[in-house]
Structure 1
Amino acid sequence: MSIQSSVKQKGGQSARKQSPVPPQSKGEEILDNVKDAVTSEWDYKIALAVITILAVITRFWGIGHPNEVVFDEVHFGKFASYYLQRTYFFDVHPPFGKLLFALMGWFVGYDGHFLFDNIGDSYISNNVPYVAFRALPAILGSLTVPTVFLIMWESGYSLPAALVSAGLVLFDNAHIGQTRLILLDATLVFAMSVSVLCYVRFYKMRRDPFSRKWWKWLLLTGVALSCVISTKYVGSFTFFTIGSAVAIDLWGLLDVKRKEGALSLPEFGKHFVARLVGLIIVPFLFYLFWFQVHFAILSRSGPGDDFMTPEFQSTLSDNIMSSQAVGINYHDAIAIKHKETKTYLHSHPDRYPLRYDDGRVSSQGQQVTGYPFSDTNNHWEILPAQLFDESNKLDHQVTQGDFVRLRHIVTDTYLLTHDVASPYYPTNQEYTTVDVNEAYGARVNDTLFEIKIENAKAGQQFKSMSGHFKLIHMPTRVAMWTHTTPLPDWGYKQAEINGNKNIQQSSNVWYVDEIPSIPAGSERLIKEPKKVKHIPFLKKYFELQRAIFFHNNALTSSHPYASQPIQWPFLLRGVSFWTQNDTKQQIYFLGNPLGWWIASSLLAVFAGIIGADQLSLRRGIDTLDARTRSRLYDSTGFFFLCWAAHYLPFYLMGRQLFLHHYLPAHLASALVTGALLEFICNIDAVALDDSITTLATTDGKSSKKDGNIKKAVAPGFAKRNLTARERMGWNTLVTLWSAAAAVMAVVIGGWWYFLPLTYGKPGLDPAQVNARKWLGYDLHFAK
């Protein structure tokens, strides 16, 4: 779908000469000029100023309350502090939005000493400039409202329609609540709305391709898109929205029957390349730029180290893994730790039960488990594959690709895996141990394991801490693996160790945490200061991307306030952000129910209108003129596509989802609401064609000259003897304003009623709380 073509230019006039869609009927022209006669450019500008002021007031009022850490401020405030400390951290979101918070902290002289560890921690006692941090999303949230208004104005909609769309965002409790806290969604939603606005402006320049303004709005669209996806990866939905419109636009340019004249293939190629550069290459370069800034700032070792490879960690100063790494020799006693779960490879004399709960039979061998604490039962001697060869000598180093045996020191048994199902995974292999006679006798091969160091070169020495590795069983080629589900009581609730047939799985990685056999003061413990290494930017970028997408997809655990996409348009429940027992105050993240239900209802109405129109056309009944249909499909349809693209993909996700994921889609639904309200209230312009030959009549003379119609309208309206058709046009505008006023009255009422839950004050008594539990709103202090 493309942006509808009847777009506003300065002066409030419709740019109809630029329209590729069918020309207006006479009745439509009358209606548009009636609108222009009673609505000037200054009316739009005054309305824009008023809603901007109201947006600032609603976002900034009482922004210092509460003076405590609220909900996800524990994450994004912490990340800003890490940036200011230059300490490496890991997050599943791209860096742009977090860098803005760090910049705001830097502006006010904050040093990042507070780490936002717990919800409810005091900002005042810890001397944190939290109001400055919260001011950033409040500014962006305030600017989002006039941006919505501008989208409607630039798309050619009337003033009441533009006010309804902007008002649905202005007086929405969810948008207000999310933009008053240290959260990323204000940046995301603002960048998304600016992307749509810039594309509308670019589309308006389609009659003047490759001009200065054409390039300006094309490149600004690309920059805005880069800000969306550089804040959160759900910004890709905005790319899909704009990309779909661009694809349809290009398909139209390819048509040899274009009214504006066919383009040659070289000319079409120029259009294609320009959009490729402006909307793909430029955004991607800006997106990469923020990661470059991210890596440049975070130069010190920090809590994000564990998510990265040893090679990546070697680029960070003060990294423990690099500075404390010790080369491992054969016959060293080592403690092996799982990278993700932090459990040690452990064994004890107890044996597996004969049968598991599901009836499967075990080997009844010695248990091998994962244990979270330091213990002598975690110690294993690393031995060469053969008893008598050069590697069996003392001080012989273990290297990449070596085949080794692991002897459990306390029980003097050898690690083994075999083709017996593990306790929890029938497809995975059980790990156990056997005595020396079996280890070097009948089961010699089953005790052999290969050391596969991550990203290692041939012959590279195996080291503690920095040597992340996979332990691959030689005969069966399974990788040693563990997980978080504890064993039953017979396994003392410890972790299961099993053989994973998917050896490429990233959670198969282990490292040597300590070498207890090396005595204190040994020369092996004396290390020269390590120099910080350098690896190429793209290598660091791709490694971080793999980690981000892996952990993003792993966010599948339940959360008490998680919700499903089907619940969002109907606002069935919200999220508790903050409570204070003494004052009975709470912040409950919830949209304006009345506004959301109106917007969701009109989404259904739009779908119904499109369906009815298509059905009528199939039966040969054409109830809409060509231009009205084009406006409905192209403009309102584009907004509907924007809603669908930002909403429907969430049904395909298996990760945790929350109500705030619907905010971009809600903004798009507000655009649909304003556009559809104008459509519904419009007069039947086609019916006017039969009887009207002029709009403004002064002294019985008609003003038919193009460009003079608007000038003639004002005097015509000054007269009381309007024709019936003229009064119909006027009544349509009155109806539109009345409908807009009614919608906004309802929306403002809902906003006001739920304000105490949005601003966290005043506190409500149980009766007042229960009065606001309209649906499944699990509010606090209801008793």
Structure 2
Amino acid sequence: MSQSVKKKSAGSKKGNNTSAAAAAAATSNEVDDHSKKLNGARDSKNIGQDAASANSEVQYWAALASVTLVAVYVRFVKLGTPNQVVFDEVHFGKFASYYLEGTYFFDLHPPFAKLLIAFVGWLIGYKGKFKFDAIGDSYIENNVPYIAYRSLSAIQGTAIIPVMFLTMKTLGFSPLACLFSSIIVCFDNAQVIDSRLILLDATLILSVALSIFSYCKFSTFRRQPFTQNWWTWLLATGVSLSCVISTKYVGVFTYFTLGIAVCHELWYLLDYKKGLTLTEFGKHFFARFWALIVVPFTIYLYWFYLHFAILKKSGPGDAFMSSEFQETLLESPLAQHSKEVQYYDQITIKHKETGAFLHSHKHVYPLRYENGRISSNQQQVTCVQHEDAQSDPNNLWEIVPVQAEDDNVKGKDVHTNDIIRFKHVGTGGFLLTHDVASPLKATNEEFIVVYNETAISRYNETLFRLRLDVPGSSPKKQNQRKQIKTLATDLRVLHMDTVVAMWTHDDELLPEWAFKHQEVSGNKKIQDKDNVWTFDSINLQPTDPRTRYVPKKVKTMPFLKKWLQLQRLMFHHNNQLSSSHPFASQPDSWPLAMSGVSFYNNNEEKKQIFFIGNVIGFWLEVCFLSIYVGIILADQITRRRNCHLLNDRARSRLYNTLGFLFIGWAAHYFPFYLMNRQKFLHHYLPAHLIAALFSGGLVEFVCTDNSTDSAKSKAQLKRVKMAVIVALATTGIVWFFFYFSPITYGDITLTPDEVKARQWLDFKLHYAK
């Protein structure tokens, strides 16, 4: 009830009786209508009082304590297993290290959750030396405080459970309903996995849960507008929403959920029958605009301000940004050792993925390979890995300009998109690739070194273009002309004549005739991510001015200009994530947990972590959602025939409380059908959380006497019936969780038969043979 209406009622003694009656009627209508709003908490105060009278507070707190302690156990037990990098820890652990070093990087997600991870590292004094380069890298060998990092996710994942419980309690549900909703998430395998690893999802889901809880608490003070409690919970909702959107952009779905409730409420308040003047309505509007839009957006901007303030050094994210932005960064240690590459420089060329150096020597490919195929019988080109690469002349290559630009003048810079030739320093020949099959890959082209007349007659076959590699970027970005520096510029070396990319691999080595070096070949799939090379070092003379390091001048750039540039890039690259992935899945498979994602495999011990939801819990949620739709349709049809089966209180609970949660689930699920980017099961977890809240509420609804006969008395909850349903459902959920726990924790080796027994639905587990 608005303060203005209260004042009108209180002051009616001095007015006429008609005015007093009108004010009283408006007051009465407002109180009645508040129980009929869309948001589920709108009748929660009265319902909460009824529940409190029927259920002792002791039951609530005992149930809350029990499920929270269980959540602590399932999320913290064996937190150090496995002691290797798992799945996307390779990204978010790396980003934390970059924060700790102050080195600029680029990511598709906003900074908030990544800053939290880095904050944990800062608290324990970690410097970020380890870069989480590959899945399976050992944390123990590299002295990484990974348990501290994972504890952050475990704490957040645990906190989700009591927040859910208190949300249900705020909405006026019984202890059993609160407990059941919490159990669904507490024992969900996917939720547990995401709460045990260095990922962003625990932060996201906790923020979603806090947003819904805060808004439900705010709803209990709607009849006391602009009071301290009213403002506290409205602002808490805004802060929680800012955490959601500052973690991942899918947080906009939570904004959409609460936005529907807020818009409906404002539409209700706009009705002249509610007794609010336009000025008073404006106060309500701007209070919500301030708390739910301005404050969250300001906090959102603050995390980016902190992001730019910390990342002051040049780093791997430079290539994504404009040159104007790059000039605002200090040079990192990498940049300090980086040198401008010039024509006629003698350089080493390093393959980015394998770390091997381009090499050649005075040995030729055998005329006939072991499999009977014929080679060119020309000088071998291979890749080698050793520490003294720069001192070996067979690893040195001179960059020679094309004949039209070859004036023998040194000091000219080499740029991306230039066409050049590579002259082998050790033997004096030119690098060439041609339409002859490589030794190990019959579909790839062979690389050789040719001399003298052959190099002249086959001149076009010695031409290569240096293409800038910017992961996920547009062709326009890759075609830009940029000065090449050692260590800092990622390149694709493209052959002009046959349009292949220079490539090497270490999964299979050449035979003894090539001294077991890595094969170098021409890859026709020029966009493959492992076609990337860098110019590693230059064989500089002591008198060369490039041997002296001259710090660059750091420029400034307005914060909002930085932010806008980064926003455009983040949205652009997010939309570019449309390539196929072996574990990607479509939204239609999520509610039934039809498929999952392989997070981790230990081939030696035959252990694995497979990301999959609790099938029992997921299917129960779908059943409850379907039952709800059936009840709504049945109620609408029967009322059309003037048959009122549900009392007004039950309908309020059905359409308001459960309706709000149903809309929340739909708003977090159906928009994914409109997205063209890669989608995975973890995108469903926020919707799964809300579906769990909904499920507990619907179980209580169907176990309550909602008939019109009970309208004049309190609705009777059939406790035994509800206890049986909750007990049976909980038994199935808990059984599934522990049955699949070996692939949730990755701590137990299963036999092939045990693995096959767990290959439900479309699960594609490892080690089934």
After TM superposition, the score normalised by the length of structure 2 is 0.70
Measure the CA separation in 1 of the matches of 2:337 and 2:138: 36
Specify which of 559, 568, 580 is matched with residue 602 of structure 2: 580
Match of residue 597 from structure 1: 619
Deviates more, 1:523-532 or 1:313-322: 523-532
Shift of 1:19: 6.8
Match of residue 305 from structure 2: 292
Contact in 2 for aligned 1:194/1:224 (Cα 8 Å)? yes
Contact in 2 for aligned 1:327/1:463 (Cα 8 Å)? no
1:743 aligned onto 2:729: yes
Change (3 A) 1:540 1:382: farther
Three-state SS of the structure 2 residue aligned to 1:249 is helix
1:265 aligned onto 2:278: yes
Deviates more, 1:676-685 or 1:575-584: 575-584
Residues 189-242 of structure 1, C-alpha deviation per residue, up to 9 Å, x if partnerless? 001000000001111111011111111111111100111111111111111111
1:82 aligned onto 2:98: yes
Match of residue 479 from structure 1: none
Shift of 1:281: 0.6
Match of residue 613 from structure 1: 635
* Structure 1 segment 25-36 matched on structure 2, within 5 A: 36=52
Shift of 1:734: 2.1
Contact in 2 for aligned 1:34/1:730 (Cα 8 Å)? no
Match of residue 138 from structure 2: 122
Match of residue 652 from structure 1: 674
Match of residue 304 from structure 1: 317
Contact in 1 for aligned 2:755/2:765 (Cα 8 Å)? yes
Contact in 1 for aligned 2:595/2:761 (Cα 8 Å)? yes
Shift of 1:322: 10
Residues 125-159 of structure 1, C-alpha deviation per residue, up to 9 Å, x if partnerless? 11111111100000000000111111110011111
Equivalent position amino acid for 2:561 in 1? K
Specify which of 715, 737, 744 is matched with residue 758 of structure 1: 744
Shift of 1:755: 1.4
Change (3 A) 1:593 1:406: closer
Residues 711-750 of structure 1, C-alpha deviation per residue, up to 9 Å, x if partnerless? xxxxxxxxxxxxxxxxxx7672222222222221222122
Structure of higher RCO (CA pairs closer than 8 Å, 6+ residues apart): 1
Match of residue 174 from structure 1: 190
Change (3 A) 1:53 1:222: same
Change (3 A) 1:49 1:483: farther
Change (3 A) 1:374 1:183: farther
Change (3 A) 1:148 1:55: same
Shift of 1:22: 6.5
Match of residue 242 from structure 2: 226
Measure the CA separation in 1 of the matches of 2:313 and 2:35: 58
Match of residue 189 from structure 1: 205
Measure the CA separation in 1 of the matches of 2:238 and 2:495: 43
Equivalent position amino acid for 1:683 in 2? D
Shift of 1:314: 1.1
Deviates more, 1:734-743 or 1:96-105: 734-743
Specify which of 279, 288, 300 is matched with residue 275 of structure 1: 288
After TM superposition, the score normalised by the length of structure 1 is 0.69
Match of residue 422 from structure 1: none
Three-state SS of the structure 2 residue aligned to 1:578 is strand
Shift of 1:546: 1.5
Contact in 2 for aligned 1:314/1:322 (Cα 8 Å)? no
Q: Which runs of 5+ in 2 are unaligned?
A: 1-29, 38-43, 348-394, 423-480, 486-493, 502-520, 527-533
Three-state SS of the structure 2 residue aligned to 1:538 is helix
Three-state SS of the structure 2 residue aligned to 1:76 is helix
Measure the CA separation in 1 of the matches of 2:689 and 2:672: 16
Specify which of 8, 15, 20 is matched with residue 34 of structure 2: 20
Change (3 A) 1:100 1:524: closer
Measure the CA separation in 2 of the matches of 1:177 and 1:243: 31
Change (3 A) 1:544 1:157: same
Measure the CA separation in 2 of the matches of 1:463 and 1:322: 18
1:109 aligned onto 2:137: no
Change (3 A) 1:407 1:168: closer
Change (3 A) 1:782 1:37: same
Contact in 1 for aligned 2:104/2:312 (Cα 8 Å)? yes
Residues 622-643 of structure 1, C-alpha deviation per residue, up to 9 Å, x if partnerless? 3222332121111111111111
* Structure 1 segment 518-667 matched on structure 2, within 5 A: 529-667=551-689
Shift of 1:758: 0.9
Q: How much identity, in percent, do the aligned residues show?
A: 48
Shift of 1:277: 0.6
* Structure 1 segment 687-726 matched on structure 2, within 5 A: 687-688=709-710
Contact in 2 for aligned 1:555/1:656 (Cα 8 Å)? yes
> How many residues were matched structurally?
603
Equivalent position amino acid for 1:642 in 2? G
Change (3 A) 1:98 1:269: same
Specify which of 744, 756, 761 is matched with residue 770 of structure 1: 756
Contact in 2 for aligned 1:310/1:322 (Cα 8 Å)? no
Measure the CA separation in 2 of the matches of 1:40 and 1:208: 26
Match of residue 381 from structure 2: none
Three-state SS of the structure 1 residue aligned to 2:578 is coil
Contact in 2 for aligned 1:310/1:321 (Cα 8 Å)? no
Three-state SS of the structure 1 residue aligned to 2:272 is coil
Match of residue 164 from structure 1: 180
Change (3 A) 1:603 1:463: closer
Specify which of 479, 483, 508 is matched with residue 464 of structure 1: 483
Equivalent position amino acid for 1:772 in 2? R
Three-state SS of the structure 2 residue aligned to 1:587 is strand
Shift of 1:300: 1.2
Shift of 1:648: 0.8
Residues 31-71 of structure 1, C-alpha deviation per residue, up to 9 Å, x if partnerless? 99885454112211121111111111111011111111111
Measure the CA separation in 2 of the matches of 1:586 and 1:670: 27
Shift of 1:779: 1.1
Three-state SS of the structure 1 residue aligned to 2:134 is coil
Residues 549-581 of structure 1, C-alpha deviation per residue, up to 9 Å, x if partnerless? 111111112211111111100111111111223
Equivalent position amino acid for 2:576 in 1? A
Cα RMSD of the aligned pairs, angstroms, is 4.4
Change (3 A) 1:587 1:674: same
Q: Which runs of 5+ in 1 are unaligned?
A: 1-15, 336-372, 384-393, 399-404, 411-461, 467-481, 498-511, 696-728
Contact in 2 for aligned 1:487/1:496 (Cα 8 Å)? no
Measure the CA separation in 2 of the matches of 1:286 and 1:754: 40
Equivalent position amino acid for 2:764 in 1? D
Match of residue 347 from structure 1: none
Equivalent position amino acid for 1:123 in 2? Y
Measure the CA separation in 2 of the matches of 1:32 and 1:100: 36
Contact in 2 for aligned 1:599/1:673 (Cα 8 Å)? yes
Contact in 2 for aligned 1:382/1:407 (Cα 8 Å)? no
Change (3 A) 1:93 1:263: same
Equivalent position amino acid for 2:252 in 1? S
Equivalent position amino acid for 1:178 in 2? D
Contact in 1 for aligned 2:74/2:192 (Cα 8 Å)? yes
Measure the CA separation in 2 of the matches of 1:59 and 1:763: 20
Residues 384-421 of structure 1, C-alpha deviation per residue, up to 9 Å, x if partnerless? xxxxxxxxxx99x99xxxxxx999899xxxxxxxxxxx
Contact in 1 for aligned 2:48/2:172 (Cα 8 Å)? no
Measure the CA separation in 1 of the matches of 2:307 and 2:418: 41
Change (3 A) 1:150 1:17: farther
Measure the CA separation in 1 of the matches of 2:287 and 2:48: 34
1:314 aligned onto 2:314: no
